[in-house]
Structure 1
């Protein structure tokens, strides 16, 4: 397998507006024009994507709207979640470069400052048959936006944390450098080392949290994340023994199984 030598972000496409940077990147894949490391940054998008089919809305010109094309051939032997973990670490690296304290990764790959969301990640994959060919890494990170009128639980931005204005496109280029560093660490050190580093910054690790599963809210403790991305928790600390999966012992949850509950 030839070694990939193109740096992430070396090709940096800057758009004034687009429906979705992930759609733009995936179109390059389908047209046979994809190149590893190509980054697509938009100042505004009209149909942004979030996890599990949700729409992601962002104030034009205020935030990082970025998608990166990654040739999956060097990591197709690894658990796909390892790329998600490496990406979350890169976004964490960028936010903590300026916000410094009280930042964490909320499973599976959101960046939180205290109990408020600062960034989200959506990775979409392209296969040839059963072979993983490309990953489109979509990252949305709140930079200068200070009002989030449509959301019941407001997210948080770098400006709100630091009191500073930032150049969103410039930060997106910084993020590409950090993503390249985490990508190289994944190739060099493997999935297990990446997962350990990810868990070092995991929200709720080793302490009580409240989760909701199938309409039932329970308190539990985050024990870690498996290589396939499933969340490990202790059994519910309260309520009846049969109220939630794994009651009285370790419970495993797949992505999308549980919702985190925070005090307002």
Structure 2
């Protein structure tokens, strides 16, 4: 894969393809520090050897079968205390792009993509930089299981595994980049409330009672996500608790 098919304004116009790299996020951040990454730069690895996921976990992707890439964004119009709205926009973009190929996907808070509420199709690791009270940089690392059929963990699945079809990596990448750019430009145009509402509409377990663990097992219902990114969960006694990433686990 050597070209972008997406009809985008700026995203992916500078596409840096690496045969091997430890982490596309690390490479993208290095390019930013050296002044070689404008907004919209995409770093794509054909073989990523030390990909990072949430909670410090490693992201494994078989070479040549999946997509591992990072996007450079410069969202200086977003305040630090509202930065999760950018996570929502990028997540919706990935979700919509993948939904062109398979149905039944949802977004699991904060940054995973699940098939029918179970197996993981992809995920994101978003690394932000701030200056004063403004968000000035986001490197969005995205991993998508596309054509891989066997995984080292049972909780993973690919687009091919879901559909029985083999997909062009170029076409999947193109669809995702075009959709991410669309949501980013909507955000830039001030359509924050619409993005927030759409995110909740695609959120795994939103409005449904389920089991969680915050140190103790409990039954709760996701009622929202704050601008700070904290998950809002109503408990059976009527109280609402707010959680950061490492404070709650889905059971």
Fold match by TM threshold 0.5: yes
Matched, 1:234 2:234: yes
Residue number in structure 2 paired with 1:122: 125
* Unmatched runs of 5 consecutive residues or more in structure 2: 1-7
Structure 1 residues 191-249: Cα deviation after superposition (integer angstroms, max 9, x where no partner): 322111100111111111111112x22221111111211111111x4xxxxxxxxx541
In 2, Cα distance between the equivalents of 1:230 and 1:256?
11
Aligned mate of 2:240, from 223, 247, 250: 250
Structure 1 residue 75: Cα displacement: 2.7
In 2, Cα distance between the equivalents of 1:31 and 1:113?
39
Asked if the contact 1:233–1:251 (Cα under 8 Å) also holds between the matched residues in 2, the reply is yes
Work out the number of aligned pairs and report it. Answer: 243
In 2, Cα distance between the equivalents of 1:49 and 1:256?
16
Residue pairs, 1:1-264, within 5 angstroms: 7-76=10-79, 79-100=82-103, 102-114=104-116, 115-128=118-131, 131-149=134-152, 151=153, 153-214=154-215, 216-235=216-235, 237=236, 248-261=238-251
Residue number in structure 2 paired with 1:243: none
- TM-score under structure 2 length normalisation: 0.90
Q: SS of the counterpart of 1:160?
A: helix
CA separation of 1:76 and 1:34: change in aligned 2, threshold 3 A: farther
Structure 1 residues 79-126: Cα deviation after superposition (integer angstroms, max 9, x where no partner): 1101111111011102211112x2111111211111111111111123
Structure 1 residues 12-45: Cα deviation after superposition (integer angstroms, max 9, x where no partner): 1222211110011000111122200011111111
Asked if the contact 1:121–1:139 (Cα under 8 Å) also holds between the matched residues in 2, the reply is yes
Structure 1 residue 131: Cα displacement: 4.7
| Superposed CA RMSD | 1.8
Asked if the contact 1:6–1:37 (Cα under 8 Å) also holds between the matched residues in 2, the reply is no
Q: SS of the counterpart of 2:185?
A: helix
In 1, Cα distance between the equivalents of 2:218 and 2:29?
39
In 2, Cα distance between the equivalents of 1:201 and 1:190?
17
Q: SS of the counterpart of 1:9?
A: coil
- TM-score under structure 1 length normalisation: 0.86
CA radius of gyration, larger in? 1
Asked if the contact 2:77–2:135 (Cα under 8 Å) also holds between the matched residues in 1, the reply is no
